[in-house]
């Protein structure tokens, strides 16, 4: 086999889809822009034509030495994840890999797939493709880097991340490079925010998850609605997302005119204002775990379709939501079971923390390509926090604003407005989602106030109604025709499967007890100075194997939700404190296992409350 | 600047650029450019006759790479051509 065939064979093993893409690259066309030349030492290097100049992607003097010198700059540490922008001919990455151990991961972001295709024809890079410590990512194949980053980065690793750029790549591919770096930084920020959220909500997240795991058996899911809508042309039907910002009071009275001509999504607190304006939304999106009852009390919501996830407040959904379209992730095992029963993956949306963002992703998921925002101030317009409709559910307006961490943002009219950090963060998410989906969706901000959202067109809501809500489509009736996702027999089976989880937790508790007892014995031994270092090392290896076994238990996913504090504490230290002695390592392991033991007991209590009761 | 100091400076700059230490590297090239310009200007007639074209080519290439922020272009020019030019210049001066 030749170089190309070897490389393609390696790609097929690890990235099947990529091998096909590389095979399909039009080399004649790519060859007009990208070529190979000989360096002074006789080696091949890549060159790219851009802005009337030929740019070499490695040294024309000595590409091997250049790659060695480049890698010399960096000190790689255990468990580090290194994002490398640019692949070139693979020599730089090969040098970096020489400095890696088995705990490292190098993620290479290559902004130009044609360059990689040419590289595959001239350089033997099969060793790199096959290397388990290397992951290739192509911006052209997956525009949203976060999809990949979510799988790689968790809180425990964010202190171990570094970003490297190959020479010339940041000049040649400046925007892509900046966007990729921003994605990594944003993921890191999200992990930090997630930590704060998890610790804040504590036991509430797993409890809500269990509640909805059961409730969804008797409900519908978003994929059903998507399929029902797929027979209609939604091009001219806008989705109107109604948020609870203060500007909603200016134009909510027009909303009724859009009914039957748009897909109206009311977001949590906005529902009071929407109902009072005489409109009936096609969907009420409610995902906030602490959504106050006062948002909904006194309203007749029987005819409303809800969109909920595992986080949604169970009390609210129990008391007010009769018909729910579920979506999201519950647990790996439960989603797998649902997928098997449904014959399709349980629908999941990218989450951005705010319920408005969830509504945005929901509209996109369902196939709407024109999204209109109203009440989406993302700022304290006129010094007011929310629509009047919420009737002080969040307490005194001024006191509420004073209690927030205030930052300034540009308003739609160019003036500066006060907002809080949370809304500023949501604004970033919106802007990013608009940017990523700019070819697929048109976003109109008809809030008529509030913060300027980059990428959104600014309109008056009256003009939206006149110009964009012309075609009739009764989505509400379509929703009504959608039955529960499972037949009564299937519902019984699913409940049985869910209830079997209790025994799994009991078995897991036994495994934990046994492991903790073993590790307590070890702690005494490693603390004893008479134990020789070889024995200590052997014991640490055994401990690591035991912990790996526990990590592989699927139920740990739910148990660990009750041991967030212990997990984050472990994450804060275990990879970064390089001078921990054997005793300290065992102590840390024991602290985590004890956290899991406590978590398993709490999980069982909650299973009894939410799953086992008739 | 004597030959050794200049060669060391070229080498250091090349390293910075190959390591993609952009700002430091570009700043170092900015310091070297006038040095080369002055050396070319100060060349004797015989130096000009023997290596003038090469010197001018080296300077133009370095300047173009500098203006385009072509990191590898600058590094390669320094390591391939500027080193030769400096060696040639000082050998000729010794004569």
Percentage of residues of chain A with pLDDT beyond 70: 97
What are the tens digits of pLDDT across the range A273-290?
A: 999 999 999 999 998 888
Report H helices in B1-95.
Answer: 3-18, 22-41, 45-67, 71-76, 83-94
Distance from CA of A455 to the nearest CA of B (A): 31
In chain A, residues with a C-beta closer than 8 Å to the C-beta of B80 are 40, 60-61
Phi first, then psi, for residue A452 (nearest 5°) are -75, 130
Asked if the Cβ–Cβ distance from A66 to B70 is below 8 Å, we say: no
The pLDDT value recorded for residue A485 is 97
Please report which confidence band the pLDDT of residue A42 belongs to, taking 50, 70 and 90 as the band edges.
very high
The pLDDT value recorded for residue B49 is 81
- Say if CB A280 and CB A297 are below 8 A apart: no
The pLDDT value recorded for residue A577 is 61
Question: CA of A453: how far to CAs of A373, A382, A426, A516, in Å?
Answer: 10, 18, 10, 52
Spatial neighbors of A72 by CB under 8 A, at least 6 apart, are B19
Of A40, A65, A167, the CB nearest to B72: A167
Query: Is A62's Cβ below 8 Å from some Cβ in B?
Result: yes
Tokens representing A431? 């802007």
Average pLDDT of the segment spanning A303-312: 94
Asked if the Cβ–Cβ distance from A167 to B20 is below 8 Å, we say: yes
CB under 8 A, 24+ apart: contacts of A67-73 = A67/A91, A67/A92, A67/A94, A67/A95, A68/A95, A69/B15, A69/B18, A69/B19, A70/A95, A70/A166, A70/A167, A70/B18, A70/B19, A70/B20, A71/A95, A71/A96, A71/A98, A71/A99, A72/B19, A73/B19, A73/B20, A73/B21
Report how far residue A265's alpha carbon sits from residue A255's, in angstroms, rounded to the nearest whole number: 11
Please report which confidence band the pLDDT of residue A586 belongs to, taking 50, 70 and 90 as the band edges.
confident
**Rg of chain A (C-alpha set):** 28
Report how far residue A219's alpha carbon sits from residue A224's, in angstroms, rounded to the nearest whole number: 11
Length of chain A: 614
In chain B, residues with a C-beta closer than 8 Å to the C-beta of A166 are 20
Best CATH choice for the domain A3-198 from the list 1.10.150, 3.40.50, 1.10.1740, 1.10.10: 3.40.50
Distance from CA of A83 to the nearest CA of B (A): 15
What are the tens digits of pLDDT across the range A520-540?
A: 988 888 777 777 878 888 888
Interface of B with A in 36-65 (CB under 8 A): none
Return the residue of A nearest to B22 by Cα.
A167
**Rg of chain B (C-alpha set):** 13
Q: What is the DSSP string of A81-115?
A: EEEEE--TTSHHHHHHHHT--TT-EEEEEES-HHH
Q: Which residues is A134 bridged to in the sheet?
A: A106
The pLDDT value recorded for residue B48 is 80
Q: Which residues is A38 bridged to in the sheet?
A: A44
Asked if the Cβ–Cβ distance from A56 to B18 is below 8 Å, we say: no
Residue with tokens 């055994």: A542
Q: Between the ranges A154-163, A297-306, A561-570, B38-47, where is the mean pLDDT highest? A: A297-306
Spatial neighbors of A205 by CB under 8 A, at least 6 apart, are A198, A289, A310, A311, A561
Distance from CA of B61 to the nearest CA of A (A): 12
User: Nearest-CA neighbor of A91 among A32, A160, A17, A167?
Assistant: A167
In chain B, residues with a C-beta closer than 8 Å to the C-beta of A168 are 20, 70-72
The pLDDT value recorded for residue A392 is 66
Average of per-residue pLDDT values in chain A: 90
Please report which confidence band the pLDDT of residue A488 belongs to, taking 50, 70 and 90 as the band edges.
very high
The pLDDT value recorded for residue A190 is 78
The pLDDT value recorded for residue A189 is 79
Query: Is B15's Cβ below 8 Å from some Cβ in A?
Result: yes
| Higher local confidence (pLDDT), A344 or A576 | A344
- Say if CB A346 and CB A223 are below 8 A apart: yes
Distance from CA of B15 to the nearest CA of A (A): 7
Residue A468 has pLDDT above 70, yes or no: yes
Please report which confidence band the pLDDT of residue A579 belongs to, taking 50, 70 and 90 as the band edges.
low
Residue A581 has pLDDT above 80, yes or no: no
Query: Which of B11, B19, B20, B22 has the highest number of chain A CBs within 10 A, making it the mutation to test binding with A?
Result: B20
Residue A339 has pLDDT above 90, yes or no: yes
Count of CA atoms in the C-beta half-sphere (13 A) of A226: 20
The pLDDT value recorded for residue B19 is 97
- Per-domain residue ranges for chain A? 3-198, 204-489, 500-612
- Say if CB A342 and CB A216 are below 8 A apart: no
Average pLDDT of the segment spanning A446-451: 93
DSSP state of B82: I
Query: Which of A165, A168, A172 has the highest number of chain B CBs within 10 A, making it the mutation to test binding with B?
Result: A168
Distance from CA of A10 to the nearest CA of B (A): 29
Please report which confidence band the pLDDT of residue A300 belongs to, taking 50, 70 and 90 as the band edges.
confident
Question: CA of A11: how far to CAs of A21, A83, A127, in Å?
Answer: 10, 20, 10
Q: How many CB atoms lie under 10 A from the CB of residue A52?
A: 6
Please report which confidence band the pLDDT of residue A576 belongs to, taking 50, 70 and 90 as the band edges.
low
Query: Is B76's Cβ below 8 Å from some Cβ in A?
Result: yes
Asked if the Cβ–Cβ distance from B70 to A53 is below 8 Å, we say: yes
Average of per-residue pLDDT values in chain B: 91
Query: Is B20's Cβ below 8 Å from some Cβ in A?
Result: yes
- Lowest-confidence region among A101-115, A175-189, A248-262: A175-189
Please report which confidence band the pLDDT of residue B88 belongs to, taking 50, 70 and 90 as the band edges.
confident
Asked if the Cβ–Cβ distance from B15 to A40 is below 8 Å, we say: no
Report H helices in A76-217.
Answer: 91-98, 113-122, 126-130, 145-152, 169-172, 174-201, 204-215
Residue with tokens 């990529």: A18
User: Nearest-CA neighbor of A341 among A495, A113, A534?
Assistant: A495
Count of CA atoms in the C-beta half-sphere (13 A) of A152: 27
- Lowest-confidence region among A142-151, A347-356, A471-480, B49-58: A142-151
Asked if the Cβ–Cβ distance from A170 to B22 is below 8 Å, we say: yes
Report how far residue A77's alpha carbon sits from residue A83's, in angstroms, rounded to the nearest whole number: 14
Report how far residue A243's alpha carbon sits from residue A378's, in angstroms, rounded to the nearest whole number: 9
Q: Kindly report the CA angle at A404 between A402 and A408, in degrees rounded to 5?
A: 95
| Higher local confidence (pLDDT), A142 or A319 | A319
The pLDDT value recorded for residue A394 is 66
User: Nearest-CA neighbor of B13 among B59, B75, B64?
Assistant: B75
Residue A335 has pLDDT above 70, yes or no: yes
Of A61, A72, A165, the CB nearest to B76: A61
Residue A128 has pLDDT above 90, yes or no: yes
Angle of helix A3-14 versus helix A16-24 axis, rounded to 10: 140
Report how far residue A46's alpha carbon sits from residue A37's, in angstroms, rounded to the nearest whole number: 6
Distance from CA of A84 to the nearest CA of B (A): 12
Question: CA of A71: how far to CAs of A41, A137, B19, B24, in Å?
Answer: 20, 20, 7, 17
Please report which confidence band the pLDDT of residue A573 belongs to, taking 50, 70 and 90 as the band edges.
low
Please report which confidence band the pLDDT of residue A375 belongs to, taking 50, 70 and 90 as the band edges.
very high
Query: Is A66's Cβ below 8 Å from some Cβ in B?
Result: yes
Query: Is A47's Cβ below 8 Å from some Cβ in B?
Result: no
Q: Between the ranges A144-148, A340-344, A529-533, B38-42, where is the mean pLDDT highest? A: A340-344
Return the residue of B nearest to A70 by Cα.
B19
Query: Is A43's Cβ below 8 Å from some Cβ in B?
Result: no
Please report which confidence band the pLDDT of residue A571 belongs to, taking 50, 70 and 90 as the band edges.
low
Cα A121 from chain centroid (whole Å): 35
3-state secondary structure of A437: coil
Query: Which of B61, B67, B72 has the highest number of chain A CBs within 10 A, making it the mutation to test binding with A?
Result: B72
Asked if the Cβ–Cβ distance from B75 to A61 is below 8 Å, we say: yes
The pLDDT value recorded for residue A197 is 74
Asked if the Cβ–Cβ distance from A73 to B79 is below 8 Å, we say: no
């Amino acid at each position: 086999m030749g170089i190309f065939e070897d490389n393609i064979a390696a790609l097929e093993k690890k990235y099947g889809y990529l091998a096909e893409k590389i095979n399909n690259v039009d080399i004649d066309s790519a060859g007009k822009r990208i070529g190979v030349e000989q360096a002074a030492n006789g080696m091949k290097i890549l060159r790219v034509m851009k802005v009337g100049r030929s740019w070499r992607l490695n040294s024309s003097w000595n590409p091997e030495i250049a790659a060695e010198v480049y890698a010399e700059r960096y000190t790689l540490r255990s468990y580090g994840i290194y994002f490398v922008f640019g692949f070139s001919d693979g020599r730089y990455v090969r040098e970096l890999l020489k400095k890696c151990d088995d705990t490292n991961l190098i993620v290479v972001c290559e902004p130009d797939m044609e360059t990689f295709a040419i590289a595959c024809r001239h350089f033997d890079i099969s060793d790199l493709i096959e290397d388990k410590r290397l992951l290739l990512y192509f911006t052209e194949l997956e525009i949203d880097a976060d999809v990949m980053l979510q799988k790689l980065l968790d809180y425990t690793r964010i202190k171990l991340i570094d970003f490297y750029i190959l020479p010339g790549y940041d000049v040649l591919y400046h925007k892509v490079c900046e966007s990729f770096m921003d994605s990594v930084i944003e993921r890191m920020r999200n992990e930090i925010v997630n930590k704060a959220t998890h610790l804040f909500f504590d036991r509430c997240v797993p409890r809500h998850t269990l509640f909805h795991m059961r409730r969804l058996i008797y409900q519908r899911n978003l994929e059903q609605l998507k399929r029902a809508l797929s027979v209609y042309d939604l091009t001219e039907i806008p989705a109107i997302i109604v948020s609870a910002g203060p500007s909603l009071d200016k134009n909510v009275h027009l909303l009724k005119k859009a009914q039957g001509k748009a897909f109206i999504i009311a977001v949590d607190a906005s529902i009071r204002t929407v109902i009072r304006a005489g409109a009936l939304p096609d969907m009420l999106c409610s995902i906030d775990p602490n959504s106050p009852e006062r948002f909904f009390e006194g309203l007749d919501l029987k005819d409303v379709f809800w969109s909920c996830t595992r986080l949604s407040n169970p009390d609210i959904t129990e008391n007010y939501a009769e018909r729910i379209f579920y979506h999201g992730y519950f647990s790996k095992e439960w989603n797998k079971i649902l997928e098997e029963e449904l014959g399709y993956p349980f629908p999941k949306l990218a989450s951005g923390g705010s319920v408005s963002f969830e509504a945005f992703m929901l509209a996109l998921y369902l196939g709407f390509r024109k999204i209109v925002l109203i009440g989406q101030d993302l700022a304290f317009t006129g010094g007011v926090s929310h629509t009047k409709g919420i009737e002080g559910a969040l307490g005194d307006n001024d006191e509420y604003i004073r209690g927030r961490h205030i930052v300034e943002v540009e308003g739609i009219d160019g003036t500066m407005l006060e907002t809080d950090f949370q809304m500023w963060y949501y604004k970033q998410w919106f802007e990013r989602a608009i940017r990523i989906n700019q070819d697929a969706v048109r976003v109109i901000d008809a809030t008529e106030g509030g913060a300027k959202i980059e990428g959104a067109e600014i309109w008056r809501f009256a003009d939206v109604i006149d110009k964009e809500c012309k075609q009739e489509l009764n989505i509400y009736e379509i929703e009504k025709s959608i039955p529960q996702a499972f037949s009564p027999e299937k519902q019984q089976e699913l409940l049985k499967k869910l209830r079997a989880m209790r025994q799994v937790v009991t078995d897991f508790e036994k495994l934990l007890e046994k492991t903790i007892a073993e590790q307590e014995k070890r702690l005494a031994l490693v603390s004893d100075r008479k134990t020789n270092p070889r024995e200590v090392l052997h014991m640490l290896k055994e401990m690591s194997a035991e912990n790996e076994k526990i990590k592989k238990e699927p139920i740990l996913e739910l148990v660990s939700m009750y041991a967030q504090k212990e997990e984050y504490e472990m994450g804060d230290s275990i990879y970064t404190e390089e001078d921990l002695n054997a005793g300290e390592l065992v102590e840390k392991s024991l602290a985590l296992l004890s956290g899991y033991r406590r978590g398993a007991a709490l999980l069982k209590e909650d299973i009894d409350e939410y799953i086992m009761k008739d | 600047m004597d030959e050794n100091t200049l060669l060391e400076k070229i080498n250091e700059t090349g390293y910075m650029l190959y390591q993609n230490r952009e700002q430091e590297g570009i700043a170092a090239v900015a310091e070297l450019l006038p040095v080369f310009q002055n050396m070319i200007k100060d060349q004797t007639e015989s130096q000009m006759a023997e290596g003038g074209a090469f010197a001018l080519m080296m300077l133009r290439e370095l300047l173009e790479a500098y203006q385009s922020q072509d990191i590898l272009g600058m590094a390669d020019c320094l390591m391939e051509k500027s080193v030769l030019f400096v060696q040639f210049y000082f050998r000729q001066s010794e004569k």
